[in-house]
Chain A
Amino acid sequence: MHEYSVVSELVALLLPRVGGIDGRVVSVHLRKGELRILSDASLVAAFEIVTSGTPLEGATLEIETVTTSVRCGACGYAGLAKHLEDESFHFAIPILACPRCGAEVEVTSGRELSIESVRVASLDPDESQDASGEEGGCRSSGAA
């Protein structure tokens, strides 16, 4: 159920950033760590509802799942976490212990929940857009 509150935060962050652009947002690329307990289907459904009537209406939410990585203070391992492949759990579960020596680890990725980018379609198909200089920390990657 908390997907709605998460999407509300996402949209609140996005709206001031896309308000001034000359174009229509067609998709939003979200990076979601696999340790997050958020349903992709519910995030997409919530996005459709929360963006209704806003400049983001009609945009699609694309979700990229980020695999868990860990760093071990005991043996120095840094890399992907081991996953439990036990049929009774149905899904691969990331294990927060060192895959090499078994010690406790620090999670270096897998808890992300960040907007990677938005894709914008020009309102005038002949006009090439450059969004560099957008306020709020955005930078343009140029025409896609």
Chain B
Amino acid sequence: MHDIRFTAEDILGAQLALAEENYRLLKEKGVHAISVMGAIGSGKTSLIERIIDRAKPCGIVVATIAADSAGDDDHRRFLARGAHSVNLNTEDDCHLDAHRISHTLESLPLHEIDVLFVENVGNLICPADFPLGTDVEMIVISVTEGDDMVRKHPKIFAQTDLIVINKIDLASAVGVDPQTLVRDYAKVNPHGRAILTDARHNRGIDELLRALGIECTNTQW
């Protein structure tokens, strides 16, 4: 019996290298990229729609990569708002990866785009291990998912730049205190930032834009 030792070669090293390539390409083209994760129905698409609406009068060009296991519902919603969009069906895959994103970037006019949202599939476990090459990673939670969401997925929240707690207009109706989510997030991620929104009624969107580093200098905004 004997051991063969390996140099510390990362199994997902190829994905990491592709994520770094994506990051370099997006920087070179001046694109600010934001990865959006969260459960199905948390309001990821609605929040991006609100941001598209706010950014457009400022001359900020927004694009999206709309990922779902099937269908093109989100993609059509983004197109209807006048955004560049690519639909990306992952079929049976539970997450996006840097390889898929690198191919998708080829079909976007990156030189025209200021901000790119990559909307991941509605899953809060698998995407954590697959960096895409974005500047910011954010998770959207709806209060309707319960005030124990952070406690149920602590590792991904511990590694995510910011969270959006959405549908706060429904908080009292479902008996959830959004501050419980804010406190739990602060425990696992002392440097993370939590933003409270009600995308349906356009509340909290300005604060979210500032947190994402999307600045509008147009006074009409």
A113 CB contacts on chain B under 8 angstroms: 10-12, 129
Q: Are B129 and A38 in contact (CB under 8 A)?
A: yes
A13 CB contacts on chain B under 8 angstroms: 9, 11
How many A-B contacts if CB must be within 8 Å? 127
B2 CB contacts on chain A under 8 angstroms: 23, 119-120, 122, 129-131, 140-144
B190 CB contacts on chain A under 8 angstroms: 95, 97, 102
C-alpha gap A95/B191 in the complex (Å): 10
Given contacts A86-B187, A96-B158, A129-B2, contact A114 B129 (CB under 8 A): no
Q: Which of B10, B156, B189 interacts with A37 by CB under 8 Å?
A: B156
Q: Are B5 and A117 in contact (CB under 8 A)?
A: yes
C-alpha gap A120/B95 in the complex (Å): 35
Q: Are B129 and A6 in contact (CB under 8 A)?
A: yes
Classify chain A's interface size.
35 or more
A116 CB contacts on chain B under 8 angstroms: 5-6, 8
Q: Mark A109-130, 1 if CB is under 8 A from B, else 0.
A: 0001111111111100000011
C-alpha gap A80/B84 in the complex (Å): 44
Q: Are A37 and B155 in contact (CB under 8 A)?
A: yes
Q: Which of B4, B10, B95 interacts with A2 by CB under 8 Å?
A: B95
What is the chain B residue whose CB lies nearest that of A138?
A: B4
Min Cβ gap B130→A in Å is: 8
Q: Which 4 A-B pairs have the closest CB atoms?
A: A2-B126, A97-B190, A1-B94, A117-B5
Q: Give 18 CB contacts A-B under 8 Å.
A: A1-B94, A1-B125, A2-B95, A35-B159, A37-B128, A84-B187, A84-B188, A96-B159, A116-B6, A116-B8, A117-B6, A120-B4, A121-B1, A122-B1, A131-B2, A140-B2, A140-B5, A144-B1
